[in-house]
Structure 1
Amino acid sequence: MASKKLLTVFGATGTQGRSVLNAVLAHPTLKTQFSLRGITRDPSKPNAQELTKLGVEMVRADMNDAASLRAGVAGSHAVFAVTNYWESRSKAAEVAQGRAIVDAAIAEQVKVFVWSALPHGGRLTGGRLQGLHHFDSKADIAEYLDGAKGQSGMVGVHVEPSFYMQNLRGMINKGPDGVPALVMPWSGSETKVPLVDAVVDFGRYVAGALAADPAKVDGKHISAVSEWSTPEEIVAQLNESGGTNVQFKQVPEDVFSGFLPKEMAEEMTENMVLVRDYSYYGVKGKEEQIFKDNEAVIGKIQTTSFKEFVSSNGPWKW
């Protein structure tokens, strides 16, 4: 029996990395093809030990140490990589980390590199949105990957997560009237929000990319979306399936910005404008087409509806 190929997953104990590991472990063919290695800062922590019990080899690596990155990916056939802008809130720092992982993978002759990317807000909006650093840094790393892999023969594919369903809980708060509300600079009936169950579906998209024909996925951008929903549909589903009484309230951009910490206000407001005016991926008016585009590259991916997510993630209380 042929030995298994090694898949190394960065951020193994985080939302995306754990989702990838779970999806591969559940995939009918990938689970027989790959052994798994998880990269973490501290393999002794309980969440890392949980993965060890599932058969994942947990390895320590420092995103700012090139030697440890090379050791972390050594022997890997495939790598899934993700970086965390919010740890440093520095675009330069995140780009440096992402480039270092790419360089390590090329040096260690990795065959397939799956990058957790995002669209470039500045380019996508023709220069209108200049403060989306956590988008632009990941897009810059994607561009570096495409150029750096060059003659190495490494396949590079970009999976772009959309708006986490999990984040909605923390975005709903009680107002002065005591009624919980989702308050956004969006149109309740017209803005289409790309939602992803980050815990379940993001990993399924990555698994789909790993299972697909490498020549077909090389250089492609996969939009990881479970469902498109308007704000009014979101609160209606919370109220119907979650037993809540949430309202949606539309506010101007400057009012929304005023709710946020000063250091995050511009960036997060631009994030919501990107959703409202460009449907996040620059697909305004043709949102559903991304499912067809994804399917043409990685096949049909089973996804979680927002109704299913609400029903299985209660109680919903504020």
Structure 2
Amino acid sequence: MADKKLIVVFGATGAQGGAVARALLAEGTFQVRAVTRKPQRKAARELRKLGAEVVKADLEDGRGLEAALRGADTTFLVTDFWEHLSEEQEVAQGKRVADLAQHLALSYVVYSGLEHVSQLTGGRLAVPHFDGKGRVEEYFRALGVPMTCLRVSSYFENFLTVFRPRRAPDGDGCELAIPMGDVPLDGLAVADLGPIVATLMKEPKKYEGQTLGLTAGKLTVAEYAALLSKHTGKTIRDARMSLEAYQQLAFPGAQELANMFRFYHTKPQRDIALTQQLHPKVRTFEAWAEEQKAAFEDL
């Protein structure tokens, strides 16, 4: 094991971190140190069975983070705004890891970031769960830490949760309440992030210093609805919801997500060809929908 590069994976029991940890372990040429606050969770136990070293650490605890990173060559960092809904807390977490990456002289960092929307729009539009990550990316760059920033598209898995089709008000089938109109929305299966990060870790010098926009495809809401209808056997259509109506929905974060969709209307850079180059077997939405059709049986 001594000749294998040690990679620390943050958020290892979550969606992104879990996908990355599993892909790195499957690659077989890395040691993986999986970081979690809850090492007794089922997901952590499964990673341990696959060969990961599972350690307990918290992004709020600098001393614990230093112990988790000590001896590592590289790290994959993802932070979770939705856990606390605080841009400043997310920025502090990211900066804490960036400072340690510099202090411990890590050779490479892959950071799951997003655009600094407020800066890009001259303050006209704030999307805190994007903005904080954009600020952290800038901080990494200012420190000179060797890193690649990934900008992941909307997860296909969101169609199982926040984008899940809802019963139409008239009772005729289901609707997708996604306020994109006819503007295509980029998407990616979160599990496909793992092989992409594994590719970067194998050739860090090739991708160091870059910001990579990832997507498996660009579909309108009507096209997403048509494919879901095809693969679930349900009648699903675009609700044609406006941004103004969306931000009035009664759930925490509705305004935040409405602003995200406003930013998505500007068509931020996400590159299908690059994503396919990094992971030739990346799934299309149609392939993902076919795999997940059982999850929509209760519609």
Q: 1:291 — aligned with what?
A: 272
Q: How do 1:233-248 residues align onto structure 2 when only pairs under 5 Å count?
A: 233-248=223-238
Q: 1:196 — aligned with what?
A: 188
After superposition, the C-alpha distances for 1:14-47 in whole angstroms (9 at most, x for unaligned) are 00011101222333xxx22x11110000212222
Q: 1:314 — aligned with what?
A: 293
Shift of residue 300, structure 1, vs aligned partner:
5.5
Shift of residue 202, structure 1, vs aligned partner:
1.3
Q: SS of the counterpart of 1:86?
A: helix
Shift of residue 203, structure 1, vs aligned partner:
1.4
Range moving further from structure 2, 158-167 or 239-248: 239-248
State the number of aligned residues: 294
Q: Distance in 1 between matches of 2:274 and 2:15?
A: 25
Residue type of the partner of 1:112?
Answer: Y
Q: 1:75 — aligned with what?
A: 71
Stretches of structure 1 that go unaligned for 5 or more consecutive residues are: none
C-alpha contact (below 8 Å) 1:201/1:226 kept by paired residues: no
Q: 1:16 — aligned with what?
A: 16
Q: SS of the counterpart of 1:51?
A: helix
Q: Distance in 2 between matches of 1:229 and 1:260?
A: 27
Stretches of structure 2 that go unaligned for 5 or more consecutive residues are: none
Q: Distance in 1 between matches of 2:39 and 2:278?
A: 34
After superposition, the C-alpha distances for 1:235-272 in whole angstroms (9 at most, x for unaligned) are 111111222211111122221112232x5232111111
Q: Is the counterpart of residue 278 in structure 1 residue 266 in structure 2? A: yes
Residue type of the partner of 2:285?
Answer: F
Q: 1:220 — aligned with what?
A: 210
Q: How do 1:113-128 residues align onto structure 2 when only pairs under 5 Å count?
A: 113-128=109-124
Q: Is the counterpart of residue 139 in structure 1 residue 164 in structure 2? A: no
Residue type of the partner of 2:18?
Answer: R
Shift of residue 301, structure 1, vs aligned partner:
3.9
Are the structure 2 counterparts of residues 252 and 2 from structure 1 closer, same or farther at C-alpha, using a change threshold of 3 Å?
closer
- Identical-pair percentage: 31
| Alpha-carbon RMSD | 1.8
Residue type of the partner of 1:95?
Answer: V
C-alpha contact (below 8 Å) 1:196/1:226 kept by paired residues: yes
Q: 2:105 — aligned with what?
A: 109
TM-score, normalised with respect to structure 2? 0.92
Residue type of the partner of 1:265?
Answer: A
89, 94, 100: which one aligns with 1:98: 94
50, 53, 66: which one aligns with 1:54: 50
Q: Distance in 1 between matches of 2:25 and 2:52?
A: 10
Q: SS of the counterpart of 1:304?
A: coil
Q: Is the counterpart of residue 37 in structure 1 residue 33 in structure 2? A: yes
C-alpha contact (below 8 Å) 1:79/1:112 kept by paired residues: yes
TM-score, normalised with respect to structure 1? 0.87
Are the structure 2 counterparts of residues 185 and 299 from structure 1 closer, same or farther at C-alpha, using a change threshold of 3 Å?
closer
Q: 2:80 — aligned with what?
A: 84
Q: 1:129 — aligned with what?
A: 125
Q: Distance in 2 between matches of 1:231 and 1:38?
A: 36
C-alpha contact (below 8 Å) 1:159/1:205 kept by paired residues: no
Q: Distance in 1 between matches of 2:274 and 2:48?
A: 36
Are the structure 2 counterparts of residues 185 and 111 from structure 1 closer, same or farther at C-alpha, using a change threshold of 3 Å?
same
